Amino acid sequence: MARLQGRRIIITGGASGIGRATARLFANEGAAVAVLDYSAEAAEAVAREVGGVAVAVDVSDAASVATAVAAAVSALGGLDGLVNAAGIFSPAGLADTSADLFARTLAVNVLGTFLVIQAAAPHLRAATGATIVNIGSGVGLLPTGPGSTAYVASKGGVIAMTKAIAMELAPEVRVNVVCPGAVETPMTAGTLRDASGDFLRGVTRRYALGRAGQPEELAAAILFLTSTESSFVTGIALPVDGGRTFH
Ligand SMILES: NC(=O)c1ccc[n+]([C@@H]2O[C@H](COP(=O)([O-])OP(=O)(O)OC[C@H]3O[C@@H](n4cnc5c(N)ncnc54)[C@H](O)[C@@H]3O)[C@@H](O)[C@H]2O)c1
């Protein structure tokens, strides 16, 4: 398949989990991929695997983002798409959420998404049929159990911001947000496993499909929103969550 043939795409958080699965799928679909990640070594490994370029970045730092986006655009020779998959999740309920934890979560998840879009926007506007896909979360649509106050606030922010930016960048750039349910990645391996090592059944047993997602299942949805197959779709928040939010 070559649904992204000739497209030049930045993927933040592309060194791991959902971002890495997206980098692999996009490269298979013919895209030239720039993997932007905090972890330079892991980004290099993914870039080598997919024949792309790796750029180290801290998405929460405006100067770092400006340098990294410029380097990626220069290496790719332009920019047609952006996937914002960099993110952090530190579980903590209301009482245990320090001001620093709250600020850091919003700095990476919300400000980071904003800064990368801001730096990429002029390049995307100059392209034809450009796209941005942000990664929100199901909890940003419908918070469930306790323990993730700052994260929920950040993902609600990403979802609302996506719609605001979709208006601002239309009609040149389509901007959407994917809202995953629990997905098996390094992020959840540290937080959503029970003592037996199984994916915490309490998290996914209420999903209609009764299981956690795989990163490749998110990458497929991100591909849809990046390809011309979604050419009449902008400003949506798409749950990809095994039926977590519809019942
Ligand atoms: N895994 C899930 O269950 C799940 C559910 C809903 C939403 N999400 C969201 O999906 C996205 C990807 O998550 P994942 O599960 O693949 O996580 P992951 O931890 O496997 O990957 C996240 C990547 O982001 C990078 N990163 C973190 N902080 C960064 C920074 N400041 N600058 C640049 N890169 C940074 C990390 O180095 C890592 O490579 C995140 O936004 C996450 O919040 C994940």
Q: Is the pLDDT of residue 85 over 90?
A: yes
Per-residue DSSP letters for 188-200? Answer: HHTTSB-TTSSB-
pLDDT attached to residue 247: 79
47 lines ligand 1 (CB under 6 A): no
Residue 88 Cα to ligand 1 midpoint, Å, equals 5
Q: Please report, for the chain, the start and end positions of each structural domain, with discontinuous segments joined by +.
A: 8-240
Say if ligand 1 is within 6 A of residue 137 CB: yes
From 39, 67, 89, the mutation candidate for ligand 1 (largest count of ligand atoms within 8 A of CB) is: 89
- With contact defined as beta carbons under 8 Å apart, do 166 and 174 qualify? yes
Lowest mean pLDDT among 116-130, 136-150, 231-245: 136-150
**Marked catalytic residue, from 26, 89, 151, 207:** 151
For the CA of 192, the nearest atom of ligand 1: 3
* DSSP letter, residue 239: E
**Residue among 87, 82, 71 nearest 38 (CA):** 87
Share of the chain above pLDDT 70, in %: 96
Mutate to test the pocket of ligand 1, among 16, 162, 199 (most ligand atoms within 8 A of CB): 16
Question: Residue 194 has what pLDDT?
Answer: 66
Mean pLDDT across the stretch 140-161?
93
Burial class (CB in 10 A: 0-12, 13-18, 19+), 7: buried
CA of 16 to the centre of ligand 1 (A): 7
Mean pLDDT of 132-148: 92
Per-residue model confidence (pLDDT) at position 195: 64
Mean pLDDT lowest for which of 25-39, 101-115, 142-156?
Answer: 142-156
39 lines ligand 1 (CB under 6 A): yes
| Mean confidence (pLDDT) of the chain | 95
Cα separation, 166 vs 174, whole angstroms: 6
Two structure tokens written together for 163? 């719609």
| More confident of the two residues 13 and 188 | 13
Ligand 1 pocket check for 68: Cβ under 6 Å = no
* Range 126-152 average pLDDT: 94
Is the confidence at residue 31, as pLDDT, over 90? yes
Q: Which residue has the higher pLDDT, 29 or 195?
A: 29
Q: Whose CA is nearest to atom 16 of ligand 1?
A: 17
Task: State mean pLDDT over 213-217.
Answer: 97
Distance 85 CA to ligand 1 centre (A): 6
Residue nearest atom 12 of ligand 1, based on CA coordinates: 85
**Cβ partners under 8 Å of residue 227, min gap 6:** 3, 4, 29
Quick check: bond before 171 cis, omega within 30?
yes
Residues 6 or more apart whose Cβ sits within 8 Å of residue 160: none
Distance between CA atoms of 230 and 208, rounded to whole angstroms?
25
pLDDT band for position 147 (50/70/90)? confident
Q: Which residues pair with residue 175 across a beta bridge?
A: 132
Query: Is any ligand 1 atom within 6 A of the Cβ of residue 187?
Result: yes
Order the strands of the 81-84 sheet from edge to edge.
53-56, 32-37, 8-12, 81-84, 130-135, 173-180, 237-240
Closest CA relative to residue 67, chosen from 78, 76, 58 = 58
Q: Does residue 207 have an active-site annotation?
A: no
In this predicted structure, what is the pLDDT of residue 173? Answer: 98
Instruction: Return the best residue to mutate from 89, 137, 187, 241 for the ligand 1 pocket (most ligand atoms within 8 A of CB).
Output: 187
Cα gap 78→15, rounded to integer Å: 21
Mean predicted confidence (pLDDT) in 218-231: 98
pLDDT tens for residues 159-206?
999 999 999 999 999 999 999 999 999 998 877 766 666 766 778 988
| Residue ranges with strand state E in the chain | 8-12, 32-37, 53-56, 81-84, 130-135, 173-180, 237-240
Q: In this structure, which topology does domain 8-240 adopt according to CATH?
A: Rossmann fold (3.40.50)
At a CB cut-off of 8 Å and minimum separation 6, what does 43 contact?
14, 15, 35, 36, 37, 54, 55, 56
Mean pLDDT of 7-17: 98
